[in-house]
Every structure is written in structure tokens, then in C-alpha cells.
Amino acid sequence: MASVEVSLKEMMAGTEGAVAAAVVDYTSGMALGTLGGGKDLDTTVAAAGNTDVIRAKVRTMEQLGLKSNIEDILITLEHQYHLIRLVTGRNGNGLFLYLVLDKARSNLAMARHQLKRVEEQLEV
């Protein structure tokens, strides 16, 4: 099992084109840890904002009566991918992994695979 700090390092180092990463509690909107980002990307603000994205999607699914679980949410920008993966299991309920990728240098399928692997090993 991996800590938040180890998980963040694995997200960044193990994913080609990674720009920023966070582990976030979407019940509070608080980032448990962040890595990367910079003056053009405040990872803490982005993590809190993406909490609203998850809440809206969960609410919509409930209204539609969908009984499926969200695996991940992709937001595509002109030069970046923003990938959100909900953490499942007893240790991660209410958490999500957030990864920002440089669109020109990343492989989206491999990034999704890496986030799944990190999610499975995360211990909070």
C-alpha cells in the first residue's frame, strides 16, 4: 500500500507528460496532497474546483437513476488533459486522484492505466 506522498510521486514520475497531481477529498474539497503545477496552474484551486464537477456528476446520475460507478472523468482543454479518477474501496471512499497532462507529450490511455494502478495501491 502507498501513502499519499508516494502516490503523487508515482502519478507524476510514472506518467509521460504529467504537469500536476493531487489526491483530493471531494466531501470537503480539500487536497490531501499536491505535486507539480506552477504559476499558471494552482493545483489546490483546481482540485477544489473539480470537487464541484464530481458532485454535479454524482447528483445527475442519481437523478437519472443510474446505478453505475464513475471510473474517471476527462476534461480536454486546448493544450491539456485533466483526468479525475474516483478512488473506490474502503480506504478511499470520498477521494479522487487528479492528474493534469500536457496534451502534446502524453498518452491518455497509459495515463488512465497508471491512475488505476495508483488508486489500487493508495492507502489513506
In tens, the pLDDT along 74-120 reads 999 999 999 999 998 666 678 999 999 999 999 999 999 999 999 99
pLDDT for position 81: 97
Calculate mean pLDDT across residues 64-69. 92
Cβ burial 70-82 (10 Å sphere, 16+ → b, else e): eebbeeeeeebbb
Give me the residue spans of the domains in the chain: 2-118
46, 98 Cβ separation under 8 angstroms: yes
CATH number of 2-118: 3.30.450.30
Between CA 2 and CA 28 the distance in angstroms is 22
